[in-house]
Structure 1
Amino acid sequence: MWHFADNAACPPGYRLHKVQILSSYLVPKYQKFNIPSETVYIDETMVPFRERLKFCQYIKGKRHKFGIKIFKLCVNGGYTYNMKIYCDKESENDGVSVADKVVLGLMNNLLDSGRTLFTDNWYTSVGLARKLATRGTHLMGTLRSNRKCNPKNVITASLTNLWHRK
């Protein structure tokens, strides 16, 4: 077996102990060799894995339906710039959704630089767009109409009325 960490030194309850050393090594290398342009992208990916693991995920729409979910911030060409391994059910705290925490965590060192972030509908929210706007970052993505805390006027607005306003 190939090990990155000492099994005896594993802190109780920390599920990423065995791969954290590798992840901590790779992310700075990704950031050193991939200089982001004006646009960056966030999505999740699956590392195929069908063995017993408490944080193994099933995502119906993915090519590899079972595996380890990784949230990735990518630059042009699809290269990884930052990543976060999903290892446990996260909870909303202080009014910050899990999606917002993921986005703000991955974008931490790219905020305040005038970039545009593209996301899918799991991440996109009006609240996140406002938070990113205060940090000099634009958000582009599909907004779910049933997203919690969406302003009513945004959900009920007609796109034709928005285009014809001056």
Structure 2
Amino acid sequence: MVISQFLIISGQKCQPFIIKFILKKYAARNNKLGDISCEEMKCFIGILLLSGYVSVPTTKLYWEESSDRYNRIVSNALSWDGFEFIIDRSTKVRPLFTVLNDRLQAYAPHSETHSVDEAMVPYFVRHGRKQFIRGKPIRHGYKLWVGATSSGYVIWLEPYQGARSVIPEQYRSLDLGPSVVLQYAYILSFLGEFPHHILFDNFFTTVPFLGELKKRRLKGTGTIRDNRNPKCSLETTACMKKNKRESFYSKVKKDKSIIIAKCHDNSIVSAASNAEPVHPLHSVSRFLRTLKKIVKVPRRHCMYALNTGMRGIDRREPKH
């Protein structure tokens, strides 16, 4: 007995047009048109139904080779990699996110500055999707990709899928981080023709990605890792630590489309932008340990814009 026949045996007879509808919806969500066949989708649904009759602690145990766990029907019907390819870990909550995103976008305020970052939903019980992110206000829980205005209004939420996160075909050359921002940029295109400026941290920023945003007539600014701009030789972090505070170095691409800057603030920070210049200077408050008091120090415009705009997602409750 093959697993696709299990659908009929269990009383779950699926017409071909239903399977085609499921494939179409799956492809539209994950941009994987043609990667799975109708027969594979039948097997996938059959495995889900079988799991209700023959339960195991984790689904992967169906493919274990040990005699007390191995399930020949399942393993012969569909490989574990094939099952992993199809399944969406957020299937049960996907309708909720769809409705929530529709409502959020329907009432979204007009804003030029937006930020994209990861956010955490607090959760402390053991679960396969629970994450730990050091330095976040909430360190344990479920991770979400979030797009919001600089004032904190959330426009888009997407559950993080872990190592199995799907990168749409048209964004695969840019990696996962840039693909998340471009998905949010696509949503912004339906909210009005505005000169949107999207801010992000070093997980998302690459020089080719900023160039791609430029082609799409979108502004982008973000912190950047030193190993992502090898062709731009700025002062090393070790040397900058020896320099006085407020020291600053920058390089501009030949066509002046992208600027990469590095400054000594509370720490050594590198940033890249296709929109924000170095000047003018802004005055910000900093505590100097040597003087043991708060003083005003200058900050370059690109750094200032990044610092003020990224407050939309990482917002902390005010202390009373």
Range class of TM-score, shorter chain: 0.7 to 0.9
- Aligned: 1:118 with 2:192: no
Cα deviation for residue 40 of structure 1 reads 0.7
Q: Which residue of 1 aligns with 2:174?
A: 96
Cα deviation for residue 108 of structure 1 reads 0.9
- The 4+ residue runs of structure 1 with deviation greater than 3 A are 90-94, 155-158, 160-163
CA distance in 1, matches of 2:143, 2:157: 10
Q: 1:61 and 1:16, CA in 2 relative to 1: closer, same or farther beyond 3 A?
A: same
CA distance in 1, matches of 2:91, 2:166: 21
Q: 1:83 and 1:13, CA in 2 relative to 1: closer, same or farther beyond 3 A?
A: same
Deviates more, 1:133-142 or 1:102-111: 102-111
Counterpart selection for 2:92 from 18, 21, 30: 18
Structure 2 stretches lacking a partner, 5+ long = 1-47, 53-82, 236-247, 253-277, 279-320
Q: 1:47 and 1:126, CA in 2 relative to 1: closer, same or farther beyond 3 A?
A: same
CA distance in 1, matches of 2:234, 2:130: 38
CA contact (8 A) 1:113 1:136 kept: no
Cα deviation for residue 139 of structure 1 reads 0.6
Q: 1:71 and 1:60, CA in 2 relative to 1: closer, same or farther beyond 3 A?
A: same
Cα deviation for residue 105 of structure 1 reads 1.1
Q: Which residue of 2 aligns with 1:106?
A: 184
Query: Aligned AA for 2:197?
Result: T
Query: Percent same amino acid at aligned positions?
Result: 27
Q: 1:106 and 1:15, CA in 2 relative to 1: closer, same or farther beyond 3 A?
A: same
CA distance in 2, matches of 1:137, 1:32: 22
Q: Which residue of 2 aligns with 1:136?
A: 217
CA distance in 1, matches of 2:144, 2:129: 11
CA distance in 1, matches of 2:120, 2:138: 6
Cα deviation for residue 16 of structure 1 reads 0.5
Structure 1 stretches lacking a partner, 5+ long = 1-6
CA distance in 2, matches of 1:161, 1:85: 36
Cα deviation for residue 56 of structure 1 reads 1.2
Higher relative helix content: 2
CA contact (8 A) 1:39 1:117 kept: yes
TM value normalised by structure 2? 0.43
Query: Aligned AA for 1:156?
Result: L
Cα deviation for residue 86 of structure 1 reads 0.2
Q: Which residue of 1 aligns with 2:160?
A: 86
TM value normalised by structure 1? 0.79
- Aligned: 1:64 with 2:138: yes
Which one has more relative contact order, counting CA pairs under 8 Å at least 6 apart?
A: 1
CA distance in 2, matches of 1:130, 1:74: 22
Q: Which residue of 1 aligns with 2:249?
A: 159
CA distance in 2, matches of 1:55, 1:120: 23
